[in-house]
Structure 1
Amino acid sequence: MPLDLEEQEQLDQFKAFWQKYRNLITGVITAALFAYAAYSGYQWWRNSQALEASKLYETMVGAIAKGDKDQTLRAADDLQKDFGRTPYAAMSSLIAARIASDAGDGNKALDYLRWAAKNASNDGYLALAKLRLVTQLIELGGEKDFAEADQILNQKPIAGFESLWLERRGDWYLAQKKNDQAKQSYQEAWKKLDQAKEFPEEARRLLKVKLDAVGGVSQ
């Protein structure tokens, strides 16, 4: 059926519009398709990675139950190497650090903590790794150890861990016999902790012991 004049005019306008903008429209559609394909591929990859990492983590848990330190640490190493972006890698590194430390291998423990403190994808594990690393460095007590701990503590605290950051700063001062600065840090930590009701009572008791050791809470 032949087009009337109005329909023919609309068709001509559409043809002109398409002729002018077809490259742009085609480019936008192509980019959107590529973005969707990339997102879908990433989601599949992430789910696949998490599944494989969980299997390796289960192997590590089994090794811990058997008391097989070597297999436990190998599993943690493999999780770091092959599945470093998953939470399992950081979680296993924290566990491996404790096992290595208990076995008397302090350097290996520090390596695991340093890896997790740099690579953990989960904020909670990242904060725990940094705080535990600082504690280990303070216990070592060397000049380089204090400097490394200071560098970590100068970083912005992970949200929700501000009071523990301040408490570790107090530990850092106290280990160097800077009691006044330690007391101030502990007092600031106490104020933060008093506002964070979700913290366990054990954390409050421990901080209170430290505060009492340097003169107590200011009123």
Structure 2
Amino acid sequence: MLTRKLLLCFLMVPTSLVTGWTLTAQEQSDDTFAVPGAAVPLPPTVGPTAPRATTIFRSSKSGPATSFGLARSSWVSAKASEVDKAYESLKGAKSDEERSDAKASLRKALVTDYDSKMDQYDEHIESLEKELEEMRERLSRRRAAKEEMVDLKLKELVANADGLGWPSGPKSSINVRFPSTSPDMNRFLQTPPGSRAPTTIMTAPAAKPTAKK
């Protein structure tokens, strides 16, 4: 009987109170202590981190000549690696002379990396300007063919209403589609290959309210 009472008392302890005092060995540090219900701070990031570029547009025509091509991405990765190497040399400097040389090398690598990023922006802008020019030219042709396009669509809808639509059957190798009513903007929000995807924060699902009896 006494054992059953002790077990019931233990089960009645709030779960948050128990988990609040629980820390894994990886999360513990010498200068932190557990506080019920408090989050354990993560260790600080050591060393330079590559800046995360927020991609707000992307050209649909990617290739070796564009900033998203393999040649460009590998070249940018090499420049970022030079920055990391220069930073490691600065951390490992033993004398003032070594530190001065490492600092100069790091600054040179940063200048090169910065210039490469500016070149990327220039290529983005040039690609967008070219694509906008093509869209304007296409829009101009569609406006000029307004009456013809409306008549074609009207003829199709009337035929469908009269039961004379295109018969269904095996798919043809010829794909006839009308142009979309609006340009596709999703491709401008895609993450380029090789870049870091945004970090997704996982949150615990909210507890469902229990029905009162």
Q: TM-score per shorter chain, which class?
A: under 0.3
Higher relative contact order (CA 8 A, sep 6+): 2
Provide TM-score, normalisation by structure 2.
0.28
Q: Which has the larger radius of gyration?
A: 2
Provide TM-score, normalisation by structure 1.
0.27
